[in-house]
Structure 1
Amino acid sequence: MTESLDKNTVQTVLQEADLIYNQAEVEQGLDRMAAEITQLLQEEFPICLSVMLGGLIFSGQLATRLQFPLELDYIHATRYRDTTQGHDLDWQKRPKLCLEGRSILVMDDILDEGITLQSIMEYCYQAGATKVYTAVLVDKDRERKGLSKADFVGVTVPDRYVFGYGMDYKGHLRHVAGIYAVKGL
């Protein structure tokens, strides 16, 4: 269940948080990723799947940097449900586009434990995708239970609870233009 936080609590979390990457540093990571993705996928006509809700901001900013033909869709699978601890994977929306015979670029906010991304990759392959690539804005420096590494990474963060650029703290602060670590987490 979502924990309701008041405005003052949310503001305090932001004020006390440690800035890990500012907006300019994140933009540099996005530019680099877009160049790497373009080099690999520009001839593929891929389907780019944004993983909701965390991938919303990242995917939108990355997609505008990809200057080649592609199709966009989204998938909504989550383990966190506005909390700071992962749970069982909850499939809320599957893509409308047919994945059969296509290259897929899964775009997500963070590679944390790797369970969600691994499950989404498996889903794409079961739906007939020929190749599935992963792009994450943030790679958390930690051991993983699922997917061990993404194909494309914007920035790496320490093993702390981070928010901003789509990542949330208990359902809040996704919109923040920077990547921050919550004090004490």
Structure 2
Amino acid sequence: MSPVQLGEVLPEADLIHDRATLEAAITDMADTIRADYDGETAPLFITVMHGGMPFAAQLAFALGERGLDLEFDYLHATRYRGNTSGARLAWLHRPATSMRGRRVLLADDILDEGHTLLAIRQWCEDQGAADIRVAVLAVKIHDRRVEGIEADYVGVEVPDRYVFGYGMDFQEQGRNLPAIYALKA
């Protein structure tokens, strides 16, 4: 059976948040983050790849416009690897920058059940980070979140459906769509 192509599902998908809504949410989030980091030295801004890249880039520019300098690094940890359901966490890249005694701001695309973000947060704690904050573009609304993980900064909420676009993928496709869509229920 051949994989389903994005072009086959996108025409039937529901638009959840358009680009203007997402950009406004990121701008609002940047205002809040800037206030929280007022007077601080540059936090370590870690993008969770691949999904967090579009959101993290927009957020970093918005923070820069507000005068907050950032030191950049990234990590790549995944449970999905192109599938629509998660499996065991695989670390593909860990940050090279020392976190010892640092304030860390993690930027990711979505907080769903939270297994991946919880593991990342715990790893950052193990590396000696002094403070860890989590910024996500979207939070999926349901009651299956694992204990011990919440986002400190949230752009938008999304329904408990398979969502894609703006970093989130549909079978490794559609991450560069400038909006968030959901598969038909």
TM range (shorter): over 0.9
Q: Matched residues in 1 for 2:38 and 2:78: separation?
A: 29
CA distance in 1, matches of 2:38, 2:76: 25
How far the C-alpha of 1:42 sits from its partner, in A, is: 3.5
Secondary structure in structure 1 of the residue aligned to 2:63: coil
Partner of 2:119: 119
CA 1:123–1:148: 2 relative to 1, 3 Å: closer
Aligned to 2:32: 36
Deviations 1:148-171 (A, max 9, x none): 420000000110110010000110
Instruction: State the 1:183 CA deviation.
Output: 1.6
Q: Can you list the C-alpha shifts for 1:93-144, whole angstroms capped at 9, x where unaligned?
A: 0001110010000000000011111111111111010000000000000121
**What is the DSSP-based 3-state SS (H/G/I as helix, E as strand, rest coil) of the residue aligned with 1:66?**
helix
Could you say what secondary structure the match of 1:95 adopts?
coil
Q: Percent identity?
A: 46
Asked if the contact 1:113–1:146 (Cα under 8 Å) also holds between the matched residues in 2, the reply is no
Distance 1:14 1:95 in 2: 34
Letter aligned with residue 14 of structure 1: L
| 1:135 maps onto 2:135 in alignment | yes
Q: TM-score of the superposition, structure 1-length normalised?
A: 0.93
Map of 2:3 onto structure 1: 5
Asked if the contact 2:117–2:149 (Cα under 8 Å) also holds between the matched residues in 1, the reply is no
Does the residue aligned with 2:3 lie in a helix, a strand or coil? Answer: coil
Q: Which residue of 1 aligns with 2:59?
A: 62
Q: Is the 8 A contact 2:48 2:108 kept in 1?
A: yes
User: What one-letter code is carried by the residue in structure 2 that aligns with 1:28?
Assistant: A
Gaps of 5+ in 1: none
Which stretches of structure 1, 4 residues or more, deviate above 6 A after TM superposition? none
- CA–CA separation in structure 1 for the residues paired with 2:166 and 2:149: 22
Alignment of 1:80-119 (within 5 A): 80-119=80-119
Q: How far off is 1:12 after superposition?
A: 1.9
Q: d(CA) in 2 for partners of 1:31 and 1:119? A: 28
Q: Which residue of 1 is the match for residue 154 of structure 2? A: 153
Runs of 5+ in structure 2 lacking a partner?
Answer: none
Task: Give the distance between the partners of 1:83 and 1:154, measured in 2 at CA.
Answer: 25
**Cα separation, 2, equivalents of 1:4 and 1:39:** 49
Q: Specify the alignment match of 1:178 in structure 2.
A: 179
Q: Distance in 2 between matches of 1:82 and 1:146?
A: 25
Which among 47, 51, 61 is matched to residue 50 of structure 1?
47
Which amino acid in structure 2 is aligned with residue 154 of structure 1? Answer: G
**Cα offset for 1:147?**
4.2
Given the alignment of the two structures, is residue 19 of structure 1 paired with residue 15 of structure 2, yes or no? yes
User: Over aligned residue pairs, what C-alpha RMSD do you find?
Assistant: 1.4
| Alpha-carbon distance between aligned partners in 1 of 2:163 and 2:47, rounded to the nearest angstrom | 19
